[in-house]
Amino acid sequence: MLSTLEKPNQTIDLDSPHNLTAQIGNTPLLHLAKTAAAHDLPNTVELYAKAEWFNPGGSVKDRAALNIIRVAEEDGLLRPGMTLLDSTSGNTGIAYAMLGAARGYKVKLTVPANASPERLSILRAYGAELVLTDPMEGSDGALVEARRLAAADPTLFYANQYNNNANWQAHYLTTGNEIWQQTNGRITHFVAGLGTSGTFTGTTRRLKELNPNIRSYAAQPDGPFNGLEGWKHMQTAIVPGIYDESLADENLTTRTEDAYAMARFLARHEGLFVGISSAAAVAAALTAARELEAGLVVTIMPDNGFKYLSERFWNEH
């Protein structure tokens, strides 16, 4: 028998300012002054990063998941008691599972079997049903399986984050505006990694509306076989439907080894324990910043390092 706390029997305002969803967004913008100095950037070039682990689900993906769910609710596609289905490498799934628990949805996720044990444990803690897919096929394998499951069961709500405009619109509505406000409109360059491409696409579109002279850099792994969790090598992957390659003023690549080294540097010198994609984004932002004589560069740190504690690179020197 569930207690009253476990099974509420009264109507709850899901969008109250005191509710979980109201805590998503408005994350801090951190000045990476030590990182800039250690990598010989001139004083006229400033380096900043959005600390997205301050979202309640621990990552930038809370923004997209919430907007996908809200739009589906408004369109009548998602109702309490239904099951939300999607593919994920971890963070979006955690956001779905958290919000599903809070808003009354079951969550079914296809996940590569080699996702970190920390992420799998978090997903199970929230009550998500997991379908583990071939690790050699990466996020694309999970995507193909989600499509198969959606086609086989029309009662599921297939969130389809790679092709859902509510994904990039979340960042158009929130992330881009936050960066503009937090830099007092001084941002000159924006750098973001490509996964679903929602963060890059939505933020870039908004920032370029606010100032067309802002330059945007899209970062991705340097090859199809890499350790950059959440990033896609677009030339060899299933390209997301929401990805617009014309938005990038320049494209950057990041080596897995450089991301690992940057994760250790940020932990040991900035006091920032960040995830692999966060470290890769900072490494990419440094690549862009080194070409500048002056400017204010902003990147996105999608999550912190707690979901990657089992990775061996933390102990390397």
Catalytic residue among 59, 89, 116, 277: 277
User: Is 61 annotated in the active site?
Assistant: yes
Catalytic residue among 50, 59, 61, 278: 61
Q: What angle do CA 193, 159, 163 make, to 5 degrees?
A: 50
User: Is 34 annotated in the active site?
Assistant: no
- Which string of b and e fits 304-315 if b means at least 16 CB within 10 Å? bbebbeebebee
* Residues with active-site annotation: 61, 277
